[in-house]
Structure 1
Amino acid sequence: MQPLEFKDVGAHLELIGPAVDPERTTVFSIFRDEMYFAPAFFDHYRSIGVTQFIIVDDGSTDGTTDYLDAQPDCIRIRSDLRYGDPIEVRDPEGKRKKTRAGIYFKGAIPLFLMPGRFVTYVDADEFLLLPPGVATIGALAEHLAAAGDVAAVAPVVEFFPRDLSAFDDPRPPANLADLLRASPCFEAEPLLKLAPGAVRPEFVAPSKSMALMARFGIEPEPEAPKGWLNRLLGRSPAPQPFGSPRHKTPIVCHSAETYMVGTHNTNRAPSATVMPVIAHFVFTAQFAAKIRRAMDWGSYANGSRKYHGYARLLAAMAEAPDAFLSPASTVYEDPRQLIDCGLMLWPETPASAAPAQNV
């Protein structure tokens, strides 16, 4: 079978709802059974200027499909490819790579539907936080364009509660404020360092998930030997460490010259002076349910192996007081804190002299 190219993606899509308008401020995402987050997701992104949502519905069965169809500013996409389907892709430079359909969608669909336009990609549990004084994603995109930048990187900052008792309230959040009431804390320390001309950021700290795994002694399980000789000799590969994203490139002007490479990076250097933040709400009341779904689906990276680790982490944290907290844990109040601790960059807002208030 010939590898798929970005231009081939249209043959695998059915668009349902209003026509795509390239002039609108647009968020693109891939949903599967996301009714817990969907109302808060739409509320938040509308509040920061999004007027068009393009959502791939990856076979939802929990009411997400009907919810998306009821949103007047949403184009729902149905595809004959599922997120976890293994495929081979030839990127715009001709490089061939084996990947999953969902990763292909992240690069191919925005380029196919909105070439030459800035599009924001985020998952359903990811809420973009803008710099102080920047009211909309459109204003941030205009700043990037004026500076000649084609993309902006963002650290993926995991928000969390004090302990597992916060999971007792099963009510879905209606907005970002509800999410922050339940999971108000973040680690006030930089995750990334940007350098002019660098395609990828330098990592300077582990994600919250990986820090918790290390703190509670959650190690990757050994993998089964691959190949008949290795099985015969009982040789197993070294366990691969758990992965948890510390960054994404959520805002990209997709074109023939600028495109996604994998799920987190573009082929060209992003801005070295603009860095918003993705607030990632991993640890919520539906965390246990998400772990079960991910393990059943097996469609995330490496067969969703990270979620097997999360299941063991939850069990280990169950009896620990203030299980999530570390010396750097801080209650979120406003984006100025993110500037002050180096998580966010915005050239027009220098850091203040006020120290962050730890928990």
Structure 2
Amino acid sequence: MKKRSQFHIFRRSIADTIQYRFRNALRKDDLEARGNLSPVSQKEILLVAVVRNEYPEIIPFLDHYRSIGVSRFAIVDDRSEDGTREFLLSQPDVDVFISRKTYGEAGRGTFWRQDIIRRYGFNRWYVIVDADEYLVYDGMDRHDLHDLAGWIQKRGMKHLLAPMIDMYPAGDLRDFPFDPNRAPWEIADHFDASGYDYTTSPQNIKIRGGPRSRAFGTHTLTKYPFVYGDRLTILNSIHAPLPYWRNHVESYGALLHFKFFSNFTTKAQVAVDEGQYWNGASKYKEYLSATIGKPDFNVMSDISQRYSGIQDIIGAGLTQAISWND
């Protein structure tokens, strides 16, 4: 990276860090733990998520992350009414938090995520994802997240770049309901194998494309779902956490994103009605305007490819293989 670019990244990081800390100097952590919190060792990898009405989708989500090494979940339940909170409270490895604030009032969850890191402590690895996002990487059947953390840390990285890959079924979404007894990629089993655009900014590497961009307009797919939380870390954005100089790295993972099921329109309508998302849930309004009234909604195209595993993502050039022996 050129020295001039490095300077701009560093300067923007410092400026935004100062601004964030100044704006939030007097803000108080209002998260309230439900149930007893067990001690967490320094070596454990924690997953942080904010959920609202995610039952039964949360079931395979927890199972997936357990299978790759997450041993504790710190989940903020944002006023769920569908049994999500009750289910989470029944899970011995899940710490549940609630808040008097709404998702929008909490900076679309950014304040909650930052407060969670402050509570559980610095100098440890965190998985930061939504309930419809599944982190995958090369060799994950043999190497868990502890191995991945060690591998990327040896290369001087503290943020894992994993582009969000929108997954979708081969047909009308209305014919493909979510099934908690199956891995979501067994149903929404296709992705766009090309058509992505990459640019750089001081904050991050911007990745755009995928079926949502084709169907609704440009969507940013940049995500850093695995971060080393220390005193410099600020989760001001799930797309560009601070400090920004840690975001300019090569990708060694992908974040499979499962939004395209039969309840797609229903969830979009709820998001619009509640208005808690960015810019008055404008993206969800786009979803509704493009789908309501249509006899079917199918996002398959000539660049669609069936997903059979992480090697398909690597083969499409969307992330890289990991040389575990190096």
After TM superposition, is the score higher than 0.5? yes
Q: Give 1:12 shift.
A: 3.7
Match of 1:161 in 2: 169
Equivalent of 1:130, from 131, 137, 153? 137
Equivalent of 1:297, from 263, 274, 278?
274
Check whether the contact 1:192–1:201 (CA below 8 A) recurs between aligned residues: no
Q: 1:151 to 1:15 in 2, by over 3 A?
A: farther
1:285–1:33 distance in 2 versus 1, CA, 3 Å: same
Query: Which blocks of at least 5 consecutive residues in structure 1 are unaligned?
Result: 87-99, 215-242, 350-359
Which whole-Å CA distance do the structure 2 matches of 1:192 and 1:29 have between them? 28
Return 104-113 or 42-51, whichever deviates more. 104-113
Shift of 1:145: 2.0
SS at match of 1:343: coil
Instruction: Give deviations 1:272-298, integer Å, cap 9, x for gaps.
Output: 234210100010122122112111211
Q: Does the residue aligned with 1:247 lie in a helix, a strand or coil?
A: coil
Q: CA deviation at 1:339?
A: 1.1
- Out of 36, 39, 48, which is 2:68 matched to? 48
Query: How many residues in Structure 1 have an aligned counterpart in Structure 2?
Result: 299
Identical-pair percentage = 24
Instruction: Give 1:260 deviation, angstroms.
Output: 2.3
Residues 206 and 220, structure 2, Cα contact 8 Å, conserved in 1:
no
What does residue 320 of structure 2 align with? 345
Q: 1:331 aligns with which of 288, 300, 306?
A: 306
With over 3 angstroms needed to count, the CA separation of the structure-2 counterparts of 1:308 and 1:274, relative to structure 1, is: closer
Q: Does 1:140 align with 2:148?
A: yes
Q: Does the residue aligned with 1:324 lie in a helix, a strand or coil?
A: coil
| Structure 1 CA distance for aligned equivalents of residues 24 and 32 of structure 2 | 14
| 1:82 correspondence with 2:57 | no
- 1:9–1:109 CA contact under 8 A, matched in 2: no
CA–CA separation in structure 1 for the residues paired with 2:139 and 2:193: 17
The one-letter amino acid of 2:288's match is A
- Give per-residue Cα distances to partners, 1:136-193, cap 9 Å, x unaligned: 22211121222221111111110011222x43354532342xx223211001127465
Question: Are the counterparts in 2 of residues 339 and 345 from structure 1 also a CA contact under 8 Å?
Answer: yes
Tell me the residue number matched to 1:206: 209
Q: Distance in 1 between matches of 2:150 and 2:292?
A: 46
Q: Is the 8 A contact 1:121 1:250 kept in 2?
A: yes
Aligned-partner residue type, residue 286 of structure 2: G
Instruction: Using the TM superposition, give the Cα deviation of residue 130 of structure 1 relative to its aligned residue in structure 2, in angstroms.
Output: 1.7
Name the counterpart of 1:184: 189
Q: 1:240 is matched with which residue?
A: none
- Contact 2:197/2:209 (CA < 8 Å) preserved in 1? no
Q: TM-score, normalised by structure 1?
A: 0.75
* 1:16 is aligned to 2:35: yes
| RMSD between superposed Cα atoms in Å | 2.6
Letter in 2 for 1:337: D
Is the radius of gyration larger for structure 1 or structure 2? 1
Out of 246, 249, 252, the residue aligned to residue 221 of structure 2 is 246
Query: 1:318: which partner in 2?
Result: 295
* Partners of 1:271 and 1:112 in 2: CA distance: 27
Aligned-partner Cα distance in 2 for 1:106–1:186: 29
Asked if 1:118 corresponds to 2:125, the answer is yes
Q: How does 1:215-294 map to 2 (within 5 A)?
A: 244-266=219-241, 267=243, 268-270=245-247, 272-294=249-271
